[in-house]
Amino acid sequence: MKYKVLYAEDEPTLAQIISDGLMNSGYEVQVATDGHQALEFFKLDPPDICVLDIMMPLKDGYSLAEDIRKQNGGIPIIFLSAKSMPEDVIKGFKSGGNDYLRKPFNMGELLVRMESLLGRFSADQHPEQQQSIKHSFGNCVLDTVTQVLVTSQATHTLSYKETALLKLLIQHRNTLLPRQVPLMEIWGDDSFYNARSMDVFMSHLRKMLKDESSVQLMSIRGAGYKLIY
Q: Provide the CATH number for the domain around residue 196.
A: 1.10.10.10
- pLDDT for res 49: 93
pTM above 0.75, yes or no: no
Long-range CB pairs of 217-221, under 8 A, 24+ apart, other chains included: 217/169, 220/176
Mean pLDDT for the stretch of residues 157-163: 85
- Please tell me whether residues 111 and 186 are part of one structural domain: no
Domain final residue, candidates 71, 103, 127 = 127
- pLDDT for res 182: 87
Distances (CA, A) of 219 to 27, 177, 198, 228: 42, 10, 12, 11
- Please tell me whether residues 159 and 99 are part of one structural domain: no
Domain count, the chain: 2
Residue 80: domain span: 4-127
CATH number at residue 101: 3.40.50.2300
- Please tell me whether residues 85 and 188 are part of one structural domain: no
| Buried/exposed 132-153: b ≥16 CB within 10 Å, e otherwise | eeebebbebebbbbbbbbebee
- pLDDT for res 1: 59
> How far apart, in whole angstroms, are the C-alpha atoms of residue 111 and residue 23?
11
> How far apart, in whole angstroms, are the C-alpha atoms of residue 103 and residue 98?
17
The amino acid that residue 2 corresponds to is: K
Q: Other CB atoms closer than 10 Å to residue 110's CB: what's the count? A: 19
- pLDDT for res 221: 84
- Please tell me whether residues 57 and 139 are part of one structural domain: no
- Please tell me whether residues 14 and 95 are part of one structural domain: yes
- Please tell me whether residues 114 and 176 are part of one structural domain: no
pLDDT surpasses 80 at 188: no
- Please tell me whether residues 110 and 138 are part of one structural domain: no
> How far apart, in whole angstroms, are the C-alpha atoms of residue 38 and residue 52?
9
- Please tell me whether residues 149 and 176 are part of one structural domain: yes
Domain final residue, candidates 78, 100, 127 = 127
Domain final residue, candidates 104, 127, 150 = 127
**pLDDT tens-digit readout, 70-120:** 888 778 999 998 876 778 888 888 888 888 888 888 888 888 888 878 876
- Please tell me whether residues 108 and 155 are part of one structural domain: no
